[in-house]
Amino acid sequence: DGGITQSPKYLFRKEGQNVTLSCEQNLNHDAMYWYRQDPGQGLRLIYYSQIVNDFQKGDIAEGYSVSREKKESFPLTVTSAQKNPTAFYLCASSIGTGGPTEAFFGQGTRLTVV
Amino acid sequence: QQQVKQSPQSLIVQKGGISIINCAYENTAFDYFPWYQQFPGKGPALLIAIRPDVSEKKEGRFTISFNKSAKQFSLHIMDSQPGDSATYFCAARDKRSARQLTFGSGTQLTVLP
């Protein structure tokens, strides 16, 4: 089945640690996105990538980093510089610029700082 | 900053009733308006979408009404069912922007049995 796989589903981080969230898609989509979801605040864009080896900051990129070395993979690293990382993180993909806009989402990773 | 304002934040409806969620925008470059449905612990999924050249789109019990002059659009859920209980997000796309979709803040819908 085609889709987006996020792992792990739950992740616990200690203060001062970096953690990496995985996102893999087999939809052959060019564009990939990372969103952060907090209660009552909707989806806020962290980073997005339209093509391999290129990505742009979204609205809340501080404390996060990404890479796009392969078309199907877009991992997100939550660094120790992110002061409030506890949230639900969603990865999405779409065909890309010029194509249908429907964004397909993964099942999310819930990150908790302990 | 591009924004899509969504209301209400939460909504409680009796089974069989009509659920109405509203969104408003300012950016006239938005050209695509989807609604996403999200169940707890899951990722959002596309429910229904509309383009600004039509005023209404219906799919089953779900209808989008679009008012281009007022820059508003709404989701109507007819004959609401307990299984419709979820969080609903409106969104809008600026085709000039590579970032694609901007989301509203979400509405948590509860349909009472």
Does the distance separating the beta carbons of A58 and B101 come in below 8 Å? no
Kindly state whether B49 is in contact with chain A, defined as any CB-CB distance less than 8 angstroms.
yes
Q: Which residues of A touch B103 (CB under 8 A)?
A: 35, 42-43
Kindly state whether B106 is in contact with chain A, defined as any CB-CB distance less than 8 angstroms.
yes
% of residues, chain A, pLDDT over 90: 71
Taking 90 as the threshold, does the pLDDT of residue A103 lie above it? no
Tell me what pLDDT residue B98 has. 67
pLDDT in tens, B23-52: 999 988 898 999 999 999 899 999 999 988
Taking 70 as the threshold, does the pLDDT of residue A104 lie above it? yes
Please give the residue of chain A at the shortest CA–CA distance from B31: A101
Does the distance separating the beta carbons of A56 and B105 come in below 8 Å? no
Model confidence band, residue A98 (pLDDT cutoffs 50, 70, 90): low
Query: Residue B89 is nearest to which of A42, A92, A107, comparing CB atoms?
Result: A42
Query: Residue B100 is nearest to which of A4, A41, A101, comparing CB atoms?
Result: A101
Tell me what pLDDT residue A97 has. 63
Please give the residue of chain A at the shortest CA–CA distance from B98: A97
Kindly state whether B50 is in contact with chain A, defined as any CB-CB distance less than 8 angstroms.
no
pLDDT in tens, A12-41: 988 889 999 999 999 999 999 999 999 877
Distance CA B41, CA A88 (A): 9
Q: How far is A98 from chain B (nearest CA, A)?
A: 8
pLDDT in tens, B58-101: 999 999 999 999 999 999 999 999 999 999 999 998 877 766 78
Query: Residue B89 is nearest to which of A43, A45, A110, comparing CB atoms?
Result: A43
Mean pLDDT is lowest, of A27-31, A62-66, A93-97, B56-60, for A93-97
Query: Residue A107 is nearest to which of B36, B42, B106, comparing CB atoms?
Result: B42
β-strand B107-112 against B10-14: which pairing, if any?
A: parallel
Give the per-residue SS3 of chain A.
CCCEEEECCEEEECCCCCEEEEEEECCCCCEEEEEEECCCCCEEEEEEEEECCEEEECCCCCCEEECCCECCECCEEECCCCCCCCEEEEEEEECCCCCCCCCEECCCEEEEEC
Could you tell me where the beta strands, DSSP code E, fall in chain B?
4-7, 10-14, 19-25, 30-38, 45-50, 56-59, 62-67, 72-77, 86-94, 101-103, 107-112
Q: How far is B81 from chain A (nearest CA, A)?
A: 23
Taking 90 as the threshold, does the pLDDT of residue B106 lie above it? yes
Tell me what pLDDT residue A99 has. 57
